[in-house]
Amino acid sequence: MGKNVTQKVLESHMVSGETVAGKECKIRIDQTITQDATGTMAYLQFEAMGVPRVKTKLSVSYVDHNTLQYGGFENADDHRFLQTLASKFGIYFSRPGNGICHQVHLERFGVPGQTLLGSDSHTPTSGGLGMIAIGAGGLDVAVAMGGGPFSLNYPKVTLVNLKGKLKAWVSAKDVILELLKRLTVKGGVGKVIEYGGPGVASLSVPERATITNMGAELGATTSIFPSDAVTKEFLTAQDRAGDWTEIAADADAHYDETIDIDLGKVVPMIAKPHSPDAVCKVEELEGMKVDQVCIGSCTNSSYRDLMLTSEIFKKGGFKVHPEVSMTISPGSRQVLDMISLNKGLSHLIEAGARILESTCGPCIGNGISPPSGAVSLRTFNRNFEGRSGTKDAKVYLVSPEVAVAAAIYGVITDPRKLGKYPKVKMPAKFLIDDSMVVPPAKDPSKVTISRGPNIQPLPAAAPLGDSLKGKVLIKLGNNITTDDITPAGTWLKYRSNVPKYSESVFSAIDAKFHEKAKAAGGGFVIGGENYGQGSSREHAALCPMYLKIKAIVAKSFARIHKDNLINFGILPLTFANPADYDAIAADDELEFNNLKAGLHSDTITLKNVTKHTEIKLKHGYSPRQVDTLLAGGTLNYTTAKGK
Ligand code: MIC
Ligand code: SF4
């Protein structure tokens, strides 16, 4: 039988394991990326491994999250640490201002057919180029930089069969919002979403990247497009024609499931607060007053997106509505430079838009928090409650077309009412200037790593005993995000300081959580479905580990977070019978006995001492994961194995 694109790339990188969906396998990683908010921990872990130079084909350390460097020395110190460390260990360093890691990587480094592992959940953006690009915790990325393989459950492959062509005022964002509506934030778990069919050829690489980027919101392992003539054209325009290879699914390729989307039938869509899958048609919300519009983020900040925005303002002679605050963050310095040279930027400034740096900015709650109770329309990928920095803000996710229409009229407006749709041509040649990417030092012995006081040593986990006892410190509902566990925004500057950052754990839900956990000497957390969705930040495991949380019992887990918990020696356990979720309350005293036997057999019995009941739990760990947990996490496990 023929192979699909996913199988072709995965199987050419297979190190061990079976190509059977759900079974653990190991793949070789060609490239890695990190960003500053996850990078410091990843590199501290890499350093602890004692490998003198990275063993990948290419590793890039980006600074794009905390570029404002506000309120003190912390971020700037972190950036100095990252730059010196990159230089010493053979890593390229993309300086603050060069752009958002995923956009820059797509433009300048991604290679069709290769594998990419990144310490950011939107790493699948490069799937738009035909890469298998996976988001993971920093520790997994550190292992890959050291030449170790990446372990994952071999995925099911879903074909999204595209036919037809998008109509005017409808764009790639609407396609992925349509999929989120159909599949929900759990719909992609354990799967690679592969795009195929005759409609693929009508989408440019940046449009494909908008779609693969938000595959992260489906919970998918990754998303991928074939590498075709459109890919070749894009790479040629980036002066990288030599990086292109064709990757197409065989005519008789097998897929585990197929979803059909007629691009011609997709209409402008919008995700309502507070979940990327709360999607409806824009026309259903027309007329709602809008206070803020933000265009940017790794989802929608390409040359095409910004030129389109600019052209809409220019052609219609429109201005930003006086009651709307509109911001634009270009995805990369290349985008910013190009729109400034062709005057696209001037039209945005003339229209009244506020121009921000080429960085994540408001997407991660770094500034531009909306006013109380405000409605904010953003071209971003996440609208979790409080992520914008304003707890009661109502954030909606939209395409650039829908964003501009709202910025002009001050109310949610179907963009199809804006008249003639401007055409943005992809440039035949992009402006190439890699001078803000610093290559590593030729002589590493001359580089001293700079460490400011914000860089605190990594906390260590203890090996797992045979029994655990403690209280339920908090009981939570479904779809708890890693933003809920370890928030970003004003806490971001403590990403390199785990003792301080642990004070943020669950702070938006229970401000006293960390004090309670410390007073109890640790304990347990109960969660619902899809616990730990969203960001890949391993701090959502590291900080609870620091607070001595020993196990999380939930109905189900998001992939990256489950791996992060195991990496840091916390047991992610699921209810054998999900109804047992109701049999545990906050403050109940729990006991786990015979853990070692249970870990080897996939059945663990939990005693609810308070309620005098017993509950059966499952875990589904691979033998490697069992050994990792017994050792107290990946660092202990690899040290013990002498790796
Ligand atoms: C995000 O979009 O939530 C982030 C910030 O990029 C995270 C990484 C982080 O928390 O540092 C992600 O997506 O993994
Ligand atoms: Fe940055 Fe937002 Fe993309 Fe995360 S989702 S990498 S914060 S732009």
Q: State pLDDT tens for residues 596-638.
A: 999 999 899 999 999 999 999 999 999 999 999 999 999 888 8
Indicate if 100 and 27 belong to the same structural domain: yes
Q: Quick check: is 444 in a domain?
A: no
**Residue 328 to residue 296: CA distance in whole angstroms:** 6
Q: Are residues 83 and 183 in the same domain?
A: yes
Q: 285 and 143, same structural domain?
A: no
- Catalytic residue check, 495: no
Sheet holding 31-35, edge to edge: 132-135, 115-118, 31-35, 58-62, 92-94, 437-438
Q: How far is the CA of 133 from the centre of ligand 2 (A)?
A: 16
User: Which token pair is 479?
Assistant: 């779809």
> At residue 264, does pLDDT exceed 50?
yes
97 within a domain of the structure (yes/no): yes
Shared domain for 118 and 175, answered yes or no, is yes
Catalytic one of 208, 378, 382, 451:
382
Question: Is residue 537 annotated as a catalytic residue, yes or no?
Answer: yes
Q: Name the one residue in this structure whose structure tokens are 């084909």.
A: 57
Whose Cα sits closest to atom 2 in ligand 2? 363
Q: How confident is the model at residue 639 (pLDDT cuts 50, 70, 90)?
A: confident
Q: Which ligand is nearest to the CA of 101?
A: 2
Helix (H) or strand (E) holding 206: helix 205-213
Active site residue 227: no
CA of residue 245 to ligand 1 center, whole Å: 30
Is 617 domain-assigned? Answer: yes
> Above 90 in pLDDT, residue 308?
yes
Q: Is the CB of 102 under 6 A from ligand 1?
A: no
- Looking at 216, 237, 264, the residue that finishes a domain is 264
Which ligand 2 atom is nearest residue 381's CA?
5
Contact (Cβ atoms closer than 8 angstroms) between residue 108 and residue 238 = yes
CA-based diameter of the chain, in Å? 72
CB distance 341 to 427 below 8 Å: no
Residue type, 85: L
Kindly state whether residues 148 and 28 are assigned to the same domain: yes
Kindly give the distance from the C-alpha atom of residue 172 to the centroid of ligand 1, in angstroms, as a whole number: 22
Task: Tell me if 378 sits within 8 A of 360, measured CB to CB.
Answer: no
Please indicate whether residue 535 is annotated as part of the active site: yes
Do 249 and 279 belong to one domain? no
| Per-residue pLDDT, 457 | 85
- Dihedral of the alpha carbons of 374, 380, 385, 386, in degrees to the nearest 10: -70
Q: Is the pLDDT of residue 640 over 80?
A: no
297 phi and psi angles, rounded to 5 deg: 80, 165
pLDDT band at 571 (very low <50, low <70, confident <90, very high): very high
* Tokens found for residue 278: 């709360």
| CA distance linking residue 486 with residue 166, whole number of Å | 39
pLDDT at 439: 98
State the Cα–Cα distance between residues 273 and 22, nearest whole angstrom: 32
Domain coverage including residue 35: 5-264
Mutate to test the pocket of ligand 1, among 125, 218, 364, 379 (most ligand atoms within 8 A of CB): 364
Which CATH number is 482's domain given? 3.20.19.10
The finding on whether 537 has its CB within 6 A of some atom of ligand 1 is yes
Based on the fold, state whether residues 347 and 291 are members of the same structural domain: yes
Token digits of residue 402: 């829908």
What digits encode the pLDDT tens for the residues 56-84? 999 999 999 999 988 899 999 999 999 99
299 CA → ligand 2 middle, Å: 8
Question: How far is ligand 2, taken at its centre, from the CA of residue 298, in Å?
Answer: 6
Q: Give the integer Cα–Cα distance in Å for 332 and 304.
A: 12
Same domain, 246 and 343: no
Would you state the pLDDT for residue 62?
Answer: 99
Q: Is residue 121 lining ligand 1, measured as CB closer than 6 Å? A: yes
**Distance between terminal CA atoms of the chain?**
39
Q: Is the CB of 66 under 6 A from ligand 1?
A: no
Indicate whether 257 and 361 sit together in one domain: no
> Could you give the CA distance from residue 189 to residue 403 in angstroms, rounded to a whole number?
29
Give the residues surrounding ligand 2 with Cβ less than 6 Å away. 65, 100, 120, 122, 297-298, 360, 363-364, 380-381
pLDDT computed for residue 392 by the predictor: 97
Q: Which among 401, 416, 431 is the end of a domain? A: 416
Let me know: does 379 contact 397? Beta carbons within 8 Å. Answer: yes
Each residue of 40-60: pLDDT tens digit? 999 999 999 999 999 999 999
Residues 28 and 145 in one domain: yes
What's the structural domain count of the chain?
3
Confidence of residue 459 (pLDDT cuts 50, 70, 90): confident
Confidence of residue 642 (pLDDT cuts 50, 70, 90): low
CATH code of 95's domain: 3.30.499.10
CB 419: neighbour CB atoms within 10 A?
12
**Probe residue for ligand 2, chosen from 380, 384, 491, 492 as the CB with the greatest number of ligand atoms within 8 Å:** 380
Report the 10 Å Cβ neighbour count for 491: 16
> What is the Å distance from ligand 2's center to 120 Cα?
8
Pocket perturbation via mutation, ligand 1, pick of 537, 561, 564 by most ligand atoms within 8 A of CB: 537
Residue 74 within any structural domain of the chain: yes
451 part of a folded domain: no
Phi, psi of 611 (to 5 degrees): -100, 0
Ligand closest to Cα of 537 equals 1
Query: How far apart, in whole angstroms, are the C-alpha atoms of residue 160 and residue 358?
Result: 32
Cβ of 37 closer than 6 Å to ligand 1, yes or no, is: yes
Kindly report the protein residue whose alpha carbon is nearest to atom 1 of ligand 1. Answer: 535
For residue 210, the CA-to-ligand 2 centroid distance in Å is 12
Q: Of 222, 247, 264, which residue sits at a domain end?
A: 264
Ligand 1 and 120: CB distance under 6 A: yes
Cβ proximity of 465 and 550 under 8 Å: no
| Mean pLDDT calculated for residue range 467-481 | 98
Scanning 381-512, the segments in alpha helix (DSSP H) are 400-409, 482-485, 498-501
53 and 193 in one domain? yes
Burial-class residue 287 by CB neighbours within 10 Å (0-12, 13-18, 19+): exposed
Q: Is 439 contained in some domain?
A: no
Q: Which of 537, 539, 561, 619 is catalytic?
A: 537
User: What letter would DSSP give residue 66?
Assistant: S
Which residue from 60, 356, 363 has its CB within 8 A of the most atoms of ligand 2, so it is best to mutate?
363
Do 102 and 224 lie in one domain? The reply is yes
Dihedral (Cα; 402, 407, 410, 416), 10-degree rounding: -30
In a domain, 462, yes or no: no
Q: For the chain, what percentages of helix, strand and coil (3-state, to nearest 5) are there? A: 35, 20, 45
Note whether residue 618 is domain-resident.
Answer: yes
Q: Is the CB of 122 under 6 A from ligand 1?
A: yes
Distances (CA, A) of 215 to 19, 184, 505: 22, 11, 27
Q: 453 burial class (0-12, 13-18, 19+ CB within 10 angstroms)?
A: exposed
Report the percent of the chain where pLDDT is more than 70: 100
CA of 363 to the centre of ligand 1 (A): 9
Q: What is the pLDDT of residue 643?
A: 46
Mutate to test the pocket of ligand 2, among 63, 102, 106 (most ligand atoms within 8 A of CB): 102
pLDDT attached to residue 509: 96
Q: Tell me 450's DSSP state.
A: -
Annotated active-site residue in 30, 64, 78, 305: 64
